[in-house]
Amino acid sequence: MKLHTTFIALLAIAAFFISTTALALSPPNPTADISFNSGGNTGVAAIEAAFNNARRTEETQHGVTANALGNLDLPSQAVWDAMSASERALFLVNAERTARHNVNYPAHGTVLGLPLEGVESNLNMMAENYAEYMAANNFWAHTVPANVSAPPFAGTGSFSRISNHPVIGDGAGTNGGNCRQFLPYAENLHVSASSVMNSPTPSTLIEGAIYGWLYDDAGSAWGHRVAMLLQDQSLSLGSGFNNDRGSAASEGFMGIGFAGRGDGSYSVFDGTAFPSQWNVVWVVMDPAPDPGCNFVLLGGGGGGTPSAEVDIVSSCLAGNGRVDLNIVNNQTASAVYRFEFQGLSARQTTVAFEDWGRMPITGRPAGTYTAEVQRDGQTILTENLTINCNAMAPTVSTPEVTILNACRNNNGYVLFELVNPTASTRPYVIQFDGVPNRSTSAAPFGQTVRATTGRPDGTYNYLVRTGSTVIDTGSITVDCD
């Protein structure tokens, strides 16, 4: 337990503890806790100061060359504040992982220092849902207590919540294969509390949790830190990341969620003394290389997924499923794309080099469908889609924001497809450098599309919001010469 004025915090790690031997290719742990030291700063400056002080202290503790770990350099305060919790978490975790790339720790060895591949949508939603589940049922633990019987997590533990997931868990891949591979770590937990009734969520709740897991974790035998900085290696306590999916320059998925109450009803600590309490859940998995696993990475700075060659987006329209195949031809010449969707005649279109195309399918009743995409007669994507719009609740994992970055007439053509994840009509505003704001709205669980055209080469900042809530922000580079 750690006391910070009116705030207190606890940490917990879900892992298979079999050995405490040094982990080759992963960095060693600090020799003692390093307290958060903001240097009298606030906001992003305070975060940078604390992490950079911790890096300098770690260098000294292990006799590492001065400044070998570099400095944490965060975006501006306005950009940082507009980023989602998962964006900020991924930024910090990967900054800490890559800061140790090829750094030699005497008596330990040289660290690999690969970043995580990204935030996986299903994993992230599971973390968010479990955080809220703990707050709603007034507990804080990796394993749900026996006296909590409410769905959907009753009887589960940190590892089984991942293995049982219908999209990314065991049996969800090709021919019933597993979509996750064994990893000796699954989940980090954090809880903070305030003595002030109905206190607002701390602005640095996520940052404080990550700092504590990485630098102030001696009381948990540094298990949180090991989980966050784990590399692809053979371990005496199991295995690290296999690093056999996608680029070898990154490995592993993460997700993060938080929830809390300010009325004393969530009482990990004494609810009378600390009526405002919040938890943070961070989860990690090693994805299988099975192409039948329907992983959805949150990209583009938040919910956007920019510039995949083909991308299938599902939504609801008038109680039935709508499926859109988006295409960005990133080949070397024009290509013919064919879309085969179970139960329907195949559809086909020709897309010019670097241009975009779209093939929508509507009126699909509830069910599971096989979709296949071919380019010039060669299959490039096969996907199983589950549609359930009778209850206006699509079960296909589709990001709220999908971004297509293409070229037309030697200028940039940037298309934003928005899928409303709520049961109410949702307004959206798209801000894009150099053009007026674009406003639109999407029906409950429906979709809408807005495009920004005629953009010359360059890098553009964008932001997508609903009301005052930013749901995606980042930058897009147009190169159409």
- The H-or-E segment that residue 104 falls in is strand 104-105
* Average pLDDT estimate for 323-345: 86
* Average pLDDT estimate for 312-319: 82
Is residue 418 pLDDT above 70, yes or no?
A: yes
**pTM here?**
0.64
C-beta separation of 218 from 49 below 8 A: no
Whole-number Å distance between alpha carbons of 405 and 474: 13
- The H-or-E segment that residue 229 falls in is helix 223-229
Burial class (CB in 10 A: 0-12, 13-18, 19+), 190: buried
Is residue 183 helix, strand or coil?
Answer: coil
- 458 vs 223, higher pLDDT: 223
**Confidence label for 84 from pLDDT (cuts 50, 70 and 90):** confident
Whole-number Å distance between alpha carbons of 179 and 62: 38
Whole-number Å distance between alpha carbons of 175 and 126: 24
Alpha-helical runs (H) found in 137-204: 158-163
pLDDT for position 3: 29
Is residue 450 pLDDT above 50, yes or no?
A: yes
**Confidence label for 24 from pLDDT (cuts 50, 70 and 90):** very low
Poorest-confidence range of 186-190, 454-458, 477-481? 477-481
Q: Which of 450, 464, 360 is nearest to 413 (CA)?
A: 450
**Confidence label for 288 from pLDDT (cuts 50, 70 and 90):** very high
**Confidence label for 236 from pLDDT (cuts 50, 70 and 90):** very low
Give the total residue count for the chain.
Answer: 481
Read off the tokens for 230: 């784990």
End-to-end CA distance of the chain: 58
**Confidence label for 222 from pLDDT (cuts 50, 70 and 90):** very high
Q: What is the pLDDT of residues 237-259, one digit of tens each?
A: 447 898 888 777 788 999 999 99
Whole-number Å distance between alpha carbons of 387 and 367: 5
- The H-or-E segment that residue 235 falls in is strand 234-235
DSSP output for 148-167: ---TTTTT--HHHHHHT-TT
Tokens 């609810």: give the residue: 271
Whole-number Å distance between alpha carbons of 188 and 13: 5
Phi first, then psi, for residue 105 (nearest 5°) are -100, 115
Phi first, then psi, for residue 367 (nearest 5°) are 160, 180
* Average pLDDT estimate for 416-444: 87
Read off the tokens for 431: 């801000």
* Average pLDDT estimate for 8-29: 56
Q: What is the pLDDT of residues 355-370, one digit of tens each?
A: 888 888 888 888 888 8
Angle at which helices 205-215 and 85-99 cross, to 10°: 30
What is the dihedral sign for C-alpha 354, 321, 131, 283? negative
Whole-number Å distance between alpha carbons of 93 and 432: 28
Task: Give the β-pairing of 185-194 and 7-15.
Answer: antiparallel
Is residue 436 helix, strand or coil?
Answer: strand
CA dist 454 → 64, 413, 431 (Å):
51, 6, 16
C-beta separation of 480 from 457 below 8 A: yes
* Average pLDDT estimate for 186-194: 95
Task: Give the β-pairing of 7-15 and 2-4.
Answer: antiparallel
Contacts of 454 (CB under 8 A, 6+ apart): 409, 411, 412, 413
Q: Which of 47, 207, 79, 124 is nearest to 472 (CA)?
A: 79
Read off the tokens for 52: 């950079």
Poorest-confidence range of 26-40, 105-119, 271-285? 105-119
Q: Which of 334, 214, 352 is nearest to 282 (CA)?
A: 214
pLDDT for position 333: 83
C-beta separation of 220 from 14 below 8 A: no
Q: Which of 385, 423, 416 is nearest to 401 (CA)?
A: 416
Identify any residues that bridge with 81 across adjacent strands, giving them in sequence order: none
* Average pLDDT estimate for 82-101: 89
DSSP 8-state secondary structure symbol assigned to residue 421:
-
Average pLDDT over the chain, rounded to whole? 85
Q: What is the pLDDT of residues 104-138, one digit of tens each?
A: 999 888 898 888 988 888 898 899 999 999 999 99
- 10 vs 90, higher pLDDT: 90
